Chains A and B, each alone.
Chain A
Amino acid sequence: MRYLPKSPSERQEMLETIGARSIEELFQSIPEKFRLRAPLTLPGPLSEAEIIQYFQARAAENSRGYTSFLGAGVYSHLRSVVTDSLIQRGEFLTSYTPYQAEFAQGTLTAIFEFQTLMCQLTGQEVANASMYDGSTALTEAVLMAERLTGRHRVLVARSVHPEYRHVLQTYAKNLGIEIEEVGYTESGQLDRAALKQESLAQAAAIVVQSPNFFGVIEELPAMAEIAHAAGSLLVTSIAEAVSLGIVRPPAEADIVAMEGQSFGIPPSYGGPYVGVIATRDKYVRQMPGRLAGQTTDAEGRRGFVLTLATREQHIRREKATSNICTNEALYALAATIHLCLLGKEGLREQALQNLAKARFAQAELENIPGVRRVFSGPSFNEFVLEFPRSVKMVNADLLREKIIGPFALGIHYPELTKRALVCVTETTPRVEIERLSAAIKRILERPV
């Protein structure tokens, strides 16, 4: 087997050194009746060429050749080959969590740069070395707010990503955290009138997403004021991080939970991505996840170490801030490299292109008879349209034209059937937007 570096005679020699007659002897502590007699029933073994064939066959069964208008938490953005070639360097790819700092300065320095970039983007003072993804980052942010305030209720906007809310519910269920959902207005923003004083007084946090699941940007400064007046915190989730190139950062929020997939990480059918938690300096000891900090060696050279580890599970065990152990270091590195490449100008330009393309697509689609825009609030690269018939039917027809249509909101919002969330990024060519618009027009003209 090509991954195993031993010859049969070397195995024999090693067994003799150990003083065992056979390899079986080394497994004697496993009770006889539980030792497998027959080989495992598994496909393979496959050579490298066969493995590639298997996966190429699978890739061919997917959406190659289709144009997609899906966003809803996962975005298709430009990626540089530089990012991918750098993260494939064995020294990054095949190294462990940097507990032995002297021998892991590469990873630690990159994490320190990642933390810095995340602070600059979010307007927060401190960011961690990454979380699993946006959904778990939001959940951990809520648990953090609970610890900080000692309150056990959270007011969660319904316009937060439905799957993020589902993850939060799963975690909260056994921790005595009460979740109260808050609706949205015609602008698509959180309905402030629905925030009840008695709820606010007991709330650890108001939880919003911006841009929210409908693509609409929330009024965070006003929300922060309401939260703080009631002694609670503002937790802000960000699913589309490219928005931060032009959209005002959530500086007023107390905790920001972000999904960093938009920064150079492929959609990859749901993961791996990279989550982030950023917050104020004064809350750092309640923040979950690894942190890299700057220090020096005995001769005064600058170096980096994992620090404030006493918050974590391997020391505090059942009293830890979270059970998180691995983070998504390799994709934090990818995001760091990607953002360095893109830089100050590039990120802004990318964000502007997203805005321009979305406005163009919105105007094109709104022109179709029977189609109208649903929410009036400011939006970035996603917007919601109402169709005169079921989104599912429209999308089925679009699929025949090799177009993956917009996200059908009715799945998660019963009141929003016939509404769809359209996403357009800098990677969507104008001709494809025009093709979508023409196709929808044709489909809607056809009798049902």
Chain B
Amino acid sequence: MNSKSIDIEASAGKILKVREHPNQNEGLIFEKSAPGKRGMELPPLDVPAVDPVKALGSEFTRDAIEGFPEVSEIEVIRHFTRLSTWNYAIDLGMYPLGSCTMKYNPRVNEFVARLDGLATEHPEQPAEVSQGCLRILYDLQKCLLSITGMDAATLQPVAGAQGELTGLLMIRAYLQSQGNPRKTVLIPDSAHGTNPASVVIAGYEVKNIKSNARGQIDTDHLREFCTEDVAALMLTNPSTLGVFEERIAEIAAILHERGALLYMDGANMNALAGVTRPGDFGVDVMHLNLHKTFSTPHGGGGPGAGPVLVKRILEPFLPVPVVLQKEDGKFALDFNRPKSVGRVRAYCGNFGVLLRALAYTLAYGPGMRQATEDAVLNSNYIRKKLEDVFDLPYSLPSMHEVVFSDARQKKHGVNTMDIAKRLIDYGFHPYTTAFPLIVPGAMMIEPTESESKEECDFFIEAMRSIAAEAETNPELVKTAPHSTRVGRLDEVAAARKPILRWKP
């Protein structure tokens, strides 16, 4: 069936399966549809029925939707359960995607998010009957401020990228109130792609600044670049190399001296919580990714939440509404904020995500530091156990993640993507490939605190085994994965002639 399969048994020993899957043949839901089937029934109508054509006019009505599925409940259950078996998940094992912080998603968070009285609440209902929701928001704000050392918060942004935009809009509004919004935002070359994209939407120009040979911000370079036109520096700390900016105080001072602000992308806060606070080392505005550090589930790509935390000077510019506690102890939403940047999303943001983040924070309390320590311990352990087989382009101390490169394996024609795909056969999700951009052939590994020593050891063993395979049997690695329902997919064909929907 598959000519590439012959070597697999001999080489890996334990990987016997070649693309057999218990649910190999599941098709699309539309292909199961037949007229007259349904998977959900409604209670009978308790008022007189209405003829839609009479009520609305034929020009405003439609017939039944062509091609819409008609399937029974059991078919829906089987279909989506089968699909689910084609996914990898944190619940199955280590998910070492660098910069993504794929940690355990506590189940109690899912339970409380679905409580009657929380999941059921309407965002426009009066404050008198929303005290519980408002207090959850207020309590979470207090926790996040305490963890970051900042002064004020908005929970409205629903993703890291939206948090970035919100923070930048506040910087613009603040500088405008000082007389000049300025023109550019500095971004290091190691930054996430969302940073420059957000800067543009905030109406600023991007200026890239190069990292030095150690992967850190070059402060001389910064001094030179930080002109009167610069509104802010957007910095990820620890950087995407997993390295703390040792000269962070100097960086903040250079910016502040010239009236510019320091924005911190908090994507990597999992390395810092309980150990150090951005508010203490000069950060003026930052966002957190609650779907990373605060354990809310990724759900295959969202939802997330990207609260923004600011220093006092930026507080007047927070989006509306702001959650506050009144003198009588009651909670309320404050809309009367004339200097506000406006609103980045309807209502109060992703309440259901915010609530889970609070549940996570309450579970740890001050013990959150232990989670940070374990995350840093795991990444350093993996680094130590792999640094003799993989190239380490930057040798500064690692925090929560470690970035290797494929330089040694490339000599055998095996690149970072091949190694990543081969990891799948060993039962692990790939690490992050090809990022950060400053490392050619990057292999970015973030284990998080959720991995036991045993799981880390399995991962290390898998990586070492693949490194050996790259020398002895590179073809095996280059054609991986061999254990999934489908092999490597033709992305070129997908992009040249896009098929983006099912058609009968």
Contacts and interface: CB of A to CB of B under 8 A. Distances in A.
Contacts of B161: 313, 323-326
A444 B194 CA distance: 54
B132 A59 contact: yes
Given A132-B158, A174-B201, A360-B48, A116 B489 contact: no
Interface stretch (B8-16, B101-109, B466-474): B101-109
B84 to A, nearest CB: 4
10 contacts: A90-B92, A96-B95, A102-B424, A102-B488, A163-B346, A170-B341, A171-B201, A271-B303, A399-B126, A399-B128
Interface in B334-382: 341-353, 355, 359, 361-371, 373-374, 376-378, 380-381
Contacts of B407: none
Interface residues of B, number: 201
A361 B473 CA distance: 73
Q: Which of A51, A329, A378 has the most chain B CB atoms closer than 10 A to its own CB?
A: A51
Contacts of A322: 197, 201
B325 interface: no
A180 interface: no
Contacts of A26: 373, 376-377, 380, 397, 399
Contact of A51 (B28, B160, B359, B385): B359
B76 A325 contact: no
A307 B71 contact: no
Contact of B370 (A1, A13, A55): A1
B442 to A, nearest CB: 13
Contacts of A93: 89, 91, 105, 110, 297, 299
A74 B120 CA distance: 11
Interface in A1-49: 1-6, 10-11, 13-15, 17-20, 23, 26-31, 34-36, 39-46, 48
Interface string B84-124: 11111111100101001010111010111111111111111
Contact of B159 (A55, A119, A132, A270): A132
Q: Which of B84, B102, B297, B346 has the most chain A CB atoms closer than 10 A to its own CB?
A: B346
A340 interface: yes
B316 interface: no
A286 interface: no
A360 to B, nearest CB: 4
B71 A174 contact: no
Give 3 nearest A-B pairs by CB, closest first. A44-B365, A330-B299, A59-B117
B322 to A, nearest CB: 14
Contacts of B158: 132-133, 136, 271-272
A323 B494 contact: no
Given A173-B342, A247-B60, A100 B420 contact: yes
B248 A31 contact: yes
Contacts of B244: 29-30
A439 to B, nearest CB: 16
Nearest to B273: A40
Q: Which of A3, A70, A170, A312 has the most chain B CB atoms closer than 10 A to its own CB?
A: A3
A187 interface: no
B489 A101 contact: yes
Interface stretch (A149-157, A228-236, A288-296): A288-296
Contact of A39 (B341, B350, B366): B366
Nearest to B119: A266
Q: Which of B92, B132, B349, B359 has the most chain A CB atoms closer than 10 A to its own CB?
A: B132
B76 A429 contact: no
